[in-house]
Amino acid sequence: MADDGDLVLRAARPDDAEAIAALWHAGWRDGHAGHVPDELHRHRRLADFRDRVPPRLPTTTVGARDGRIVGFVTVHEDEVEQVYVAGPARGTGVAAVLLAAAERAVAERFDTAWLAVAVGNTRARRFYARNGWRDAAALDYPAEAGATPVVVACRRYEKRVR
């Protein structure tokens, strides 16, 4: 567990699943509206996020303030798969702290971390660039969408983490 002022980082627990799903659902809509194929929206209901959270809990770190989850980050192998911060906590440094935690997790096994950002998500792209990530290439990312992934035009960002 890490403490950054009043922000506490800790491993996600099963009882965090609902809060993570709600935060992810709201953040996904905010960051992806107009930037992904319309077809993907059918697979991004709150119920879909509730299904997607439990298998990710072992590799998810949450940021909490006053016992409430204000953000989370999920790592899969060398990919920083998800980074989300609740609207009221944006601009407070939570995202940078969570991203740094993900970088440390990836660095335990890999030299370079990567993540995918929807082409039109300029706010996220600026954030990653400010935090030392570089835009490495175009990437057709296969987003989870039931039995058949939906391909999303993304940029692959990379950062050497060790």
pLDDT, mean of residues 22-50: 94
Closest CA to 44 of 63, 57, 30: 30
Domain extent for 123: 2-160
Structure token pair of residue 115? 């993540």
Residue in this structure with the two tokens 């099963």, named with its chain if needed: 14
- The CATH number of the domain holding residue 131 is 3.40.630.30
pLDDT of residue 12: 98
Q: Name which residue leads in pLDDT, 55 or 33.
A: 55
33 pLDDT exceeds 90?
no
pTM metric for this prediction? 0.94
CB hemisphere CA count around 95 (13 angstroms)? 21
Structure token pair of residue 103? 């970088």
Segment 76-129, tens digit of pLDDT? 999 999 999 999 999 999 999 999 999 999 999 999 999 999 999 999 999 999
Domain tally, the chain: 1
For residues 59 and 67, what is the distance between their CA atoms, to the nearest angstrom? Answer: 20
Kindly indicate the confidence band of residue 63, based on its pLDDT and cuts at 50, 70 and 90: very high
Kindly indicate the confidence band of residue 8, based on its pLDDT and cuts at 50, 70 and 90: very high
